[in-house]
Amino acid sequence: MENIMDNSTNKKDIIIEVNNVSRCFNLARERVDSLKEYFVRKVKGNLHFEEFWALKDVSFTVERGDAVGLIGLNGSGKSTMLKVIAGVLKPTEGSARVSGDVAPLIELGAGFDPDLTARENIFLNGALLGHPRSVMQEAYDSIVEFAELREFMDVPVKNFSSGMNSRLAFSIATIGKPDILIVDEVLAVGDSKFQEKCINRIEEMMAKGTTVLFVSHSIRQVEMVCNKVVWLEHGHLKKYGETKEICEEYKSLYKGMDIR
């Protein structure tokens, strides 16, 4: 009896639990986007869908403080998996249980309003992540500092370069101490100096206990940041385990290809 109790307290804190998640898309359905077409097809009996399973029966768990990399070729289901975890997309079957706040690094500042100034966008973007104005006010200086954009704060972001955009977006998403940070291909932009700074920031957050989900085509970056790796192939979970062995296998499988 005592033994069992011990076991349960020793067990690490599970923060993300992905249970048999499958996600199906109806390929045909996405093309019928006008009423007329819908009715014409319905009358003709032409309305059958081609099913496409972007994810099929994927299960894994992530413990608090882990940094998990998602690897796989294009179309393997990485982005769909992230969307399911972020709560943007509901799984067709199975469930994804996430206990904590999720801070997504919004790709190239998708949350920015181009007509607003950088300063105004900081507050808007913060609110999108669920931070009230007072929190953003406190974090404001450190955001500006980290993005290195002090003299551009009153410029509308439509005049920003893509590098400036992602620097600002990264700085906003990484304030505070989110439970889970989702990093999706964002590190591909910005110069190498800033990339390094971002990786340092991510490691800093991990040290404070943030769980990181990391998607990158650069196997080198995955090796640098992650301690565990989920390898997806055609929507199936191929392997889940320690970074070192899985990355080795992945690299040897795609040796001839340019996966860096």
Residues 214, 203: Cα–Cα separation, whole Å: 12
3-state helix, strand, coil in the chain (%, to 5): 45, 25, 30
Interaction between residue 113 and other proteins (CB under 8 A): yes
Q: Which of 72, 104, 178, 235 is the binder for other proteins (CB under 8 A)?
A: 104
Count of H helices and E strands in the chain? 9, 9
Q: How many residues in the shown chain lie near other proteins by CB under 8 A? A: 34
State the nearest-atom distance from the C-beta of 184 to other proteins, in Å: 8
Question: Which residue number, 132 or 241, has a Cβ lying nearer to other proteins?
Answer: 132
Residues 57, 95: Cα–Cα separation, whole Å: 10
Q: Hunting for tokens 């340019």 — which residue is that?
A: 258
Stretch that binds other proteins, among 7-15, 60-68, 115-123, 242-250 (CB under 8 A): 115-123
Residues 30-89 that bind other proteins (CB under 8 A): 30, 33-36, 38, 83, 86-89
Interaction between residue 241 and other proteins (CB under 8 A): no
State the nearest-atom distance from the C-beta of 222 to other proteins, in Å: 21
State the nearest-atom distance from the C-beta of 249 to other proteins, in Å: 31
Question: Which residue number, 117 or 227, has a Cβ lying nearer to other proteins?
Answer: 117
Looking at residue 211, its amino acid is T
DSSP symbol at 164 = H
- Burial of 63 by CB count in 10 Å (0-12 exposed, 13-18 middle, 19+ buried)? middle
Residues 233, 252: Cα–Cα separation, whole Å: 15
State the nearest-atom distance from the C-beta of 133 to other proteins, in Å: 6
Residues 2-31 that bind other proteins (CB under 8 A): 25, 29-30
Interaction between residue 102 and other proteins (CB under 8 A): yes
Interaction between residue 120 and other proteins (CB under 8 A): yes
CA atoms within 13 A on the CB side of 104: 18
Question: Which residue number, 158 or 244, has a Cβ lying nearer to other proteins?
Answer: 158
Q: Shortest CA distance to 78 belongs to which of 206, 222, 188, 237? A: 237
DSSP symbol at 237 = E
Residues 156, 176: Cα–Cα separation, whole Å: 25
State the nearest-atom distance from the C-beta of 58 to other proteins, in Å: 19
C-alpha distances in angstroms, 80 versus 49, 67, 72?
Answer: 20, 19, 12
Q: Which of 56, 78, 131, 167 is the binder for other proteins (CB under 8 A)?
A: 131
Question: Which residue number, 113 or 203, has a Cβ lying nearer to other proteins?
Answer: 113
Q: Which residues bind other proteins (CB under 8 A)?
A: 25, 29-30, 33-36, 38, 83, 86-90, 102, 104, 106-107, 110-111, 113, 115-116, 120, 123-124, 126-133
